[in-house]
Amino acid sequence: MSPGSPIGVFDSGLGGLTVLKELVSALPNENFVYLGDVARLPYGTKSPGVVTRYAERCLEFLVAKGVKMVVIACNTATANALPKLQAESPVDVLGVIEPGVRAAIQASRGKRVLVLATNSAVRSEAYPKAFNAAGSEVIVEQIACPLFVPLVEEGWFDHPVTVAVAKQYLESRDLSAFDVVVMGCTHYPLLEIPLRQVLGSQIS
Ligand code: DGL
């Protein structure tokens, strides 16, 4: 491992490519190794212990490739396994929840934030805990949207079925109460077009 070694990035599938895209544009001189663990996708429906085991295998795989650090480009793996991976890893490990929370706190004027995430990430309460840890007074509500992940993996980014599923998940809430929605799963930004149709344009 040397300063010229690549940065490892992993997710359960395609979603982490949304993070990789930002990393490549922020760090144009770095090389990256990306692992999409599609063989074991989805992570979001699995128990914390299973997600942690999968995340440990991804870390091992990337470390064996000689990476100098690892970015967990998966909220579900970050929610369940970040401290364990940080403790076990020979290289630095970063997650995606804290940066997302910081951005949401900055963007929210109304102090009501809606987090969309997988079942596992919602159950872990990682987002409400991270808002608390940041000393924020933001009121956080969460909705689990598990069907979004297979829709993304299917490539149905802008499809009537995806819009119908988004309506089903989101229309139970008074969306006008929120000024910020956090895409608490790295797959969800790929559904921006159908999600905008349901969320409206007043929400960041
Ligand atoms: N992309 C992952 C996340 O950010 C989860 C997708 C899955 O359920 O595998 O949470």
pLDDT for the residue numbered 123 = 98
**Nearest ligand 1 atom to alpha carbon 45:** 8
| Residue 202 pLDDT | 67
Walk along the chain (204 residues) in steps of 10 and give the mean pLDDT of each run.
92 95 97 97 97 98 98 98 98 97 90 95 97 92 96 94 95 89 95 91 70
Residues in the chain: 204
- Spatial CA neighbour of 9 closest among 59, 72, 65: 72
- H/E stretch holding 194 reads helix 192-199
Residues with Cβ within 6 A of ligand 1?
11-13, 15, 41-44, 74-76, 118, 121, 149, 185-187
- pLDDT value at position 136? 86
Residue ranges in 27-157 assigned as alpha helix (H): 48-64, 75-88, 97-107, 119-124, 126-133, 148-153
Question: In this structure, are residues 120 and 142 in contact, taking their beta carbons and an 8 Å threshold?
Answer: no
